[in-house]
Amino acid sequence: MTLKVAICGAGFLGSNIAKTILSSTSAHSQCRVQLSNRNPERVHESVSTGLIPDQAKRLDPPRPVDVTRPETIRSAFSDANVIVSLVGVMHGTVEDFERIQWKGAENVAKFAQSTGAKLIHISAIGADSKSAIPYARTKALGEDAVLAACPTATIIRPSILFGPGDGFFGRFAQLSKVLPFMPVFGGGQSLFQPVYVGDIAAAVEVIARDNEDIRTLVDGKIIEAGGPDVLTYRQIIELVLRYTHRWRPIISVPYAVGTVQGFVLENLPINLFTLTRAQVEQLKDDNIVKNATPSAQYYPFKELLEKFASSRLTSVHEILPQYLPAL
């Protein structure tokens, strides 16, 4: 049987997952991959560029999907053996977060359960059903809904993603070109554990394999994914300045000032300077792996890569110098 992996919500991470699966030399290296989001043609073209002929012929035509409309899910994923759900939004109303990150994720899970497709759901470190922050709260509610609807789903919670084209380090690099100083809120002491997008893609490729031994280990489990480097917010800004070869003073800004800025900026069209009050509030919490050992609920990210992908976690110092100097 030819395995088909459908990627729902194909953007930065989805594109990297598709390329990793298509270039894989694993036992399911002949599988097909399909990209889906509301307007998947542009992402499909981006992924197909640079593929060798054998890989390109296994990239199926893209299919549009709207996770808030179950009928489009049925149409998009009717022949998928594996569904990778990257359902999520960064900006919007409370209703938007609930409709997409919670109910939309549940819709995908219900479909996967009804067809027997393996579901890999991408959430986020910091998911918390009791959080007052809509992003974190609906990520957690989405996880709960996914596992209730599809108990064999595997949930991956990445920390901040890095790699060429990312929206985190890349955004700070762009800001360092235009700002006279780099602000950090509350002294920049909150912790992050950035994870390389290629490592997340490799983990998804492993879980997607038609391998009962792997499925036994990860079905119904949560995988918290962080890289080998734990950095403060201030250290992240220092790295951006180091690898872009720029000098800017780093100035601590009180959280209260950031909240006022967020109140103004969140009401403007999304741009390089967009900041929301919720994002400022999120910076008060650490964004690091807290469950790194095997348990009934969790499976370790590092062990998954080492055991089944024969790879180690990738440091920011290996990757950032490859793309930040050009930004």
- pLDDT 10s digits, 200-209: 999 999 999 9
Full residue range of the structural domain in which residue 208 is found: 4-160+195-226+289-313
pTM for this prediction: 0.96
Query: Looking at residue 29, what is its pLDDT?
Result: 60
The predicted-structure confidence for 299-320, as pLDDT tens digits, reads as follows 999 999 999 999 999 999 999 9
CB of 72 closer than 8 Å to CB of 64:
yes
User: What is the pLDDT confidence band of residue 1, given thresholds at 50, 70 and 90?
Assistant: low
Domain for residue 281, yes or no? no
Residue at 23 is within a domain? yes
Query: What separation in angstroms does the CA of 107 have from each of 38, 42, 97, 113, 144?
Result: 15, 25, 14, 10, 13
309 domain residue, yes or no: yes
Average pLDDT over residues 290-296: 89
Residue matched to tokens 């348990």:
295
What are residue 22's phi and psi, to 5 degrees? Answer: -65, -30
Q: How many domains does the chain have?
A: 1
Higher pLDDT, 25 or 312: 312
231 belongs to a structural domain: no
Within a domain: residue 74? yes
Q: Is 188 helix (H, G, I), strand (E, B) or coil?
A: helix
40 occurs within a structural domain: yes
**Mean per-residue pLDDT, 49-55:** 86
Of the pLDDT bands very low, low, confident and very high (cuts 50, 70, 90), residue 77 is very high
Q: Tokens 């609920």 identify what position?
A: 297
Residue 133 belongs to some domain of the structure: yes
How far is it, in rounded angstroms, from Cα 225 to Cα 280?
22
* pLDDT tens, residue by residue, 226-239: 999 999 999 999 99
CA separation for the pair 205, 214 (Å, rounded): 11
Rounded Cα gap, residues 230 and 226, in angstroms: 9
For residue 2, pLDDT beyond 80: no
In-domain check, residue 283:
no
Q: Tell me, what CATH number does 49's domain have?
A: 3.40.50.720
In the chain, what percentage of residues exceed pLDDT 70? 98
**How high is the pLDDT of residue 10?**
72
pLDDT at residue 45 above 60? Answer: yes
pLDDT tens digit sequence for 100-152: 999 999 999 999 999 999 999 999 999 999 999 999 999 999 999 999 999 99
